[in-house]
Amino acid sequence: MCMYEYPKYVKYGLWLLIEVGVIAATIPGVLGTALAYNILLNIPFLAGVLICGASTFLLLGLQTYGDTSTFFLIENACAMLLVLLVNVAIVSTTGTICANTQLVDNIDACSSLTLKSTSILLKNMFGRSTSKIYGLALLASGQSNTVTTSYAGQYIMQGFSGMRKCIIFMIAPCFTVIPSLIICSVGGAPNIRQLINISAIILAFVLPFSLVPLLKFSSSCVVKVPYKNSNSIVKVAWILSVVIMGINIYFFCNSFISCLVHSELPRAVNAIISILVFPFMAAYIAALIYLAFRKVNAAGLFPSVPVSNGTEVEAWRQERIADDIGVR
């Protein structure tokens, strides 16, 4: 819908920002998968990154067999169940260990807890098998994250470019998985925490540019039932979104000001940085306001049929799908 709704410069700007967000969301999955291979099989981090890329492209290749939805559902259901069970055990166990000041051997590990040191801490406490279970959970969540973001990148590129699915499925992973693999390989294992923090900051910055258009389209009067959200859902979604975006902007500005105050750089340098950053933040807020208050005009993207006429709605859906895959 963004492709038809917004002017060209807005459309391509949103596309760029959302693609950056997809890459940032893929980075933690690649890091987690590579670290899981290191824990389970003692494979070097760089080799684990390459294996993660190969396995991701292999799983994406299942689309050609027509059973993508089935494999995707099974994979994510199993992965999320395993991750949930193991994460609950890890958080409760690690919290208990680190809260006990009498366990002197684990004080150093708790003071700088990372993804790798967590497995070591659990292995020292409960034996080698616990570390392996943690590695399996990390592998499941990391691989699931990488495949999910790759699928998201495919649909994003298809929506903004209008190209056929057969072309998108070949080139879209190159714009999501490969940049993430390069970043993780260059960053390396010692900088896992920094890479995850940077990816989280980027996601907090770019996600509003996908969230606001989504809320606008799903709550607009031009969207015909059954596609339009109810008024209660619209109100709750906008309230939560505004609160989250406000918190992100507040913490970014607060952290930036704190860095300037405690910085050892000359005042002239701090002044130049402020001159560059504060107008950027003003433009960022102005862009979100523009997206939030711009009137939606893309009425032609939805069928003008009654709610009860489900046959025509389904026929319209099938027509849109046929157009997407190039059948018509």
State the sign of the Cα–Cα–Cα–Cα dihedral 137, 139, 140, 146.
positive
The string of pLDDT tens digits covering residues 13-63 is: 898 999 899 988 888 888 888 888 888 888 888 888 888 888 888 877 776
pLDDT at 243: 93
Within-domain flag for 300: no
Instruction: Centre a 10 Å sphere on the Cβ of residue 152 and count the other Cβ atoms it contains.
Output: 18
Within-domain flag for 272: no
For residue 162 the two structure tokens come to: 């209008």
Interatomic CA distance for residues 108 and 95, integer angstroms: 14
Q: How many domains does the chain have?
A: 1
Interatomic CA distance for residues 230 and 123, integer angstroms: 50
pLDDT at 242: 92
Within-domain flag for 233: no
Residue 269 has pLDDT above 50, yes or no: yes
> Could you tell me which residue, 294 or 67, shows the higher pLDDT?
294
Angle at 210 between CA 204 and CA 214, to 5 degrees: 135
Within-domain flag for 280: no
Please tell me the least confidently modeled range out of 194-203, 206-215, 301-310.
301-310
Within-domain flag for 328: no
Interatomic CA distance for residues 307 and 221, integer angstroms: 14
pLDDT at 304: 46
When pLDDT is cut at 50, 70 and 90, the band that residue 312 belongs to is: very low
Burial level of 206, CB count in 10 A (0-12/13-18/19+)? Answer: buried
Within-domain flag for 174: yes
Q: How far is CA 151 from the centre of its chain?
A: 11
Residues 60/169, Cβ–Cβ less than 8 Å: yes
> Could you tell me which residue, 242 or 231, shows the higher pLDDT?
242
The string of pLDDT tens digits covering residues 259-268 is: 888 777 788 8
Residue 303 has pLDDT above 50, yes or no: no
When pLDDT is cut at 50, 70 and 90, the band that residue 236 belongs to is: very high
Q: Within 61-207, where are the H helices?
A: 68-99, 107-111, 115-126, 128-161, 165-187, 192-206
Residues 144/136, Cβ–Cβ less than 8 Å: no
Host domain of residue 74: 1-191
When pLDDT is cut at 50, 70 and 90, the band that residue 6 belongs to is: confident
